[in-house]
Amino acid sequence: AIQVTQSPSSLSASVGDRVTITCRASQDIRSDLGWYQQKPGKAPKLLIYAASSLQSGVPPRFSGSGSGTDFTLSISSLQPEDFATYYCLQDYNYPLYTFGQGTKVEIK
Amino acid sequence: EVQLLESGGGLVQPGGSLRLSCAVSGFTFTTYAMSWVRQAPGKGLEWVSSMSANGRSTFYADSVKGRFTISRDSSKNTLYLQMNSLRAEDTAVYYCACLVIAVPINYWGPGTLVTVSS
């Protein structure tokens, strides 16, 4: 099974900061990776698909990069509504999936 | 409008059984694989099980293999998850989802809580 390692598990940042979260897959997964934002009590929201494509309606301060085994989610200027937990998800072996462990973004 | 709505969650004793349902509307139920994803209290997301678009193949996480069974009734546009031999560690919110990252397709239900406790 494909493993995905996400880091960091949590981070503290201020409004306006640039934030970077990474995911590393245990094998080459091409660009079959998405990034999700989850707020308490809600289903996850898709931000980035196919590693670097911005989902419709998502602010352009969110961006994704990478392919193969190493991927990055960046938030260029953190806004108050961005404090949440972020997950990566791979579906290289669709419909078998692996989520990253999650990164909780907290207010500094 | 696409809607996925789970039902069937609740409190069950260890060793017990529960069947979850997911009623789907607003898209062709058999076009894509359908899945169950769970989230234990305060923990991350965990993929549980999927059924292929044609319904012929099923897939399970190692943590539930042999205990959970995914199925569907296409005439009712409903996905099911039969959960047997439940354990405390199965306590979680269970989401029904249709996820295809490349397209992208990203549909989730609001989730249903399953609590396994004596």
For residue range B10-62, what is the model confidence (pLDDT) as tens digits? 999 999 999 999 999 998 878 999 999 999 999 999 999 999 999 999 999 99
Q: Is the sign of the CA dihedral A35, A37, A41, A42 positive or negative?
A: negative
- Can you give the pLDDT at residue A108? 87
Q: Mean of the per-residue pLDDT values for chain B? A: 96
Span A9-36, mean pLDDT?
97
Residues of A in contact with B33 (CB under 8 A): 94-95
Given a contact cutoff of 8 angstroms between Cβ atoms, the answer to whether B33 and B51 are in contact is yes
Residues of A in contact with B45 (CB under 8 A): 36, 38, 44, 87, 89, 99, 102
Nearest CB to A99; choose among B45, B59, B104:
B45
Predicted confidence band at A35 (pLDDT cuts at 50, 70, 90)? very high
- Can you give the pLDDT at residue B28? 81
Q: Is the sign of the CA dihedral B10, B14, B19, B23 positive or negative?
A: positive
- Determine, for residues B99 and A89 on separate chains, whether the beta-carbon distance falls below 8 Å: yes
Percentage of chain A surpassing pLDDT 90? 98
- Whether A100 has a pLDDT exceeding 90, the answer reads yes
Determine the straight-line distance between the first and last CA of chain B, rounded to whole angstroms. 40
- Determine, for residues B35 and A97 on separate chains, whether the beta-carbon distance falls below 8 Å: yes
**What SS3 class is residue B75?**
helix
Nearest CB to A49; choose among B45, B50, B101:
B101
Span B65-91, mean pLDDT?
97
Instruction: Decide if A108 touches B, using CB distance below 8 A.
Output: no
- Can you give the pLDDT at residue A49? 97
- Can you give the pLDDT at residue B102? 87
Task: Tell me phi and psi for residue A56, to 5 degrees.
Answer: -55, 135
- Whether B83 has a pLDDT exceeding 80, the answer reads yes
CB pairs under 8 A between A and B: 69
